[in-house]
Amino acid sequence: MPIYRYTALNRKGKEEKGILDAGNAVLARKMLRAKGLYVRTIAQDEEKRERELFPFLTKLVYRVPRRDVALFARQLGTLLDAGLPLDRSMNNIIDQTENEFLKKALIEVKSDVVEGDALSTALTKHPAIFPSIYGNLISVGEKTGTYEKALLRLADLEDANLTMKSKVQAALFYPVIMLALLGAIMAFLMGVVVPQIERLFDEMDMDLPLITKVVLAFSHIMSSGWILVVIGLFAGGAYALQRYYATAEGRRRIEELLLKIPLVGSLLQKSILARFSRNLGVMLENRVPLITSLQVVSKVVNHSIFNAEIERAIDKIKEGSRITDAFRDSVIVNQMILGMLSAGEASDNIPGMVNKIADILDEDVNAAIQKFSTLLEPIMIILMGGLIALIMMAILLPISDLQKQMQF
């Protein structure tokens, strides 16, 4: 069903803008008049056609925050669990949804459901908003009559992923702020203070120490056109690195390097495994087949090295191997997790054991983030203090030499 964008005046003469779905423009106008709105402009929305013609726009322009998606899953699961029909539940949620792109997607989902599609099928038509795990979990729930429970589990999963992401971002926030502050201080010292001191040195025709000459050279670069060349080189290097990362070989090599960095590699490995375990546990608990679960989770993890390991594990499981044996040669999955998976297989409770692994890894990630932040804070302070001390030393050394010459 088409979606229309409108501008209208309400009974108080206030302008209102919004979107609605209707069979055609005439029906859309009638629906708006029934709400007491005087339609000024109405036109069919072009976003759906643009998404179909230019799929890359979905990720670049039509972004939907994951927190909004989690809220939708929780609201829909709660309403369905309370006994409301699916179409009424969707209408209630659409009326409350503020994000325009999500609202239009939900209108399309509702239209597909009304026309006879299953909810899982309708959601899979919007992969940028609802990844394949939604379709698989809800599809199983539809067959077992418990898809409202699947929606609530998906909401919990989204919240867990968002919590993990926010903790990592919080750990990186402090060093980013400190680096920005350091950059501002260095720019002020090298661009304003040092040039003024240099003029004093030139007037006195002083023989400057090596450290002062190096600092003055950097000051010349920052206060002249050469700084643009340096910025251009950095920007070019960043672009080249991004292009290299976009290739399969480049991504694999960079991810291998990141895994080898102390602290960072351990944190990255644990966060990958925590996300893998959490998603896999949810799918297995909802009776999604193991191979299907692994195929879906590999897309959620989105790590080239681990994705390749998961694909090899799937091939081994198809040949009859146990999940523990399938991941035996993994670089990412460590011995502790293999031992717990083996225990889960022995007790015939792999879903419960995978969820327990996820809980343990969440705690490990929290501890790793805390350790990372604790170590990074003094390092950043030492770095900032050291660079400022270096500049001040470069300024004060010639002045000290001058004072000694004047005393003689």
Question: What is the CATH number for 79?
Answer: 1.20.81.30
Cβ pair 290, 318 in contact under 8 A: no
* Tokens encoding 16: 């209102």
For residues 32 and 143, membership in a common domain is answered with no
Q: Is residue 264 part of a domain?
A: yes
107 with 194, same domain? no
Q: Is 239 exposed, middle or buried (0-12, 13-18, 19+ CB in 10 A)?
A: exposed
**Strand order through the sheet with 3-9:** 15-21, 3-9, 38-44
**What are the b/e assignments for 19-40, b being 16+ CB within 10 Å?**
bbbbeeeeebbebbeeeebebe
Helix H, strand E, coil C: the string for 219-283 is HHHHCCCHHHHHHHHHHHHHHHHHHHHHCHHHHHHHHHHHHHCCCHHHHHHHHHHHHHHHHHHHH
- Measuring CA to CA, how many Å separate 238 from each of 61, 109, 221, 304, 352? 23, 40, 20, 21, 43
Report yes or no on 58 lying in a domain: no
Longest Cα separation, the chain: 99
Same-domain status, 349 and 333: yes
137 neighbors 155 (Cβ within 8 angstroms): no
Residues 226 and 81 in one domain: no
Query: Do 117 and 238 belong to one domain?
Result: no
Say whether both 267 and 230 belong to one domain.
yes
56 inside domain: no
CB 68 within 8 A of CB 106: no
Say if 384 falls within a structural domain. Answer: yes
Same domain for 224 and 350, yes or no, is: yes
For residues 104 and 198, membership in a common domain is answered with no
Residue 52 lies in a domain: no
Domain coverage including residue 24: 3-45
* 234 occurs within a structural domain: yes
pLDDT for residue 87 = 87
Question: Which one of 111, 135, 158 terminates a domain?
Answer: 158
DSSP annotation of 192 reads I
Q: Which of 129, 158, 187 represents a domain boundary (last residue)?
A: 158
Task: Check if the beta carbon of residue 109 is closer than 8 Å to that of residue 119.
Answer: yes
| Same-domain check for residues 108 and 247 | no
With 0.85 as the threshold, say if the pTM is over it.
Answer: no
Looking at 158, 180, 195, the residue that finishes a domain is 158
248 and 335, same domain (yes or no): yes
For the chain, 408 residues long, give each residue's pLDDT as a single digit of tens. Answer: 667 777 887 777 787 777 776 767 777 788 778 878 777 777 776 665 555 555 555 555 557 888 999 999 999 999 998 888 988 899 899 888 888 888 888 988 988 888 888 999 999 888 888 988 888 888 888 887 788 888 998 898 888 888 877 877 777 777 788 888 888 888 888 878 888 888 877 777 777 888 888 888 888 877 776 777 878 888 999 899 889 888 988 989 998 998 888 877 888 888 889 888 988 888 888 888 899 889 888 888 888 899 999 999 999 999 999 999 999 888 888 888 899 989 988 888 888 899 899 889 888 888 888 777 778 778 888 888 888 888 888 888 887 877 776 665
Asked if residue 182 and residue 216 are part of one domain, the reply reads yes
Q: How far apart are CA 361 and CA 163, in angstroms?
A: 13
The number of angstroms, rounded, from the C-alpha of 39 to the middle of its chain's C-alpha atoms is: 40
CB 6 within 8 A of CB 41: yes
Residues 111, 178, single domain; the answer is no
Task: Specify the pLDDT at position 1.
Answer: 61
What is the total count of domains within the chain?
3
Residue 278 lies in a domain: yes
Residue 54, in any domain of the structure: no
Look at the alpha carbons of 150, 116, 128, 71 in this order and tell me if their dihedral is positive or negative.
Answer: negative
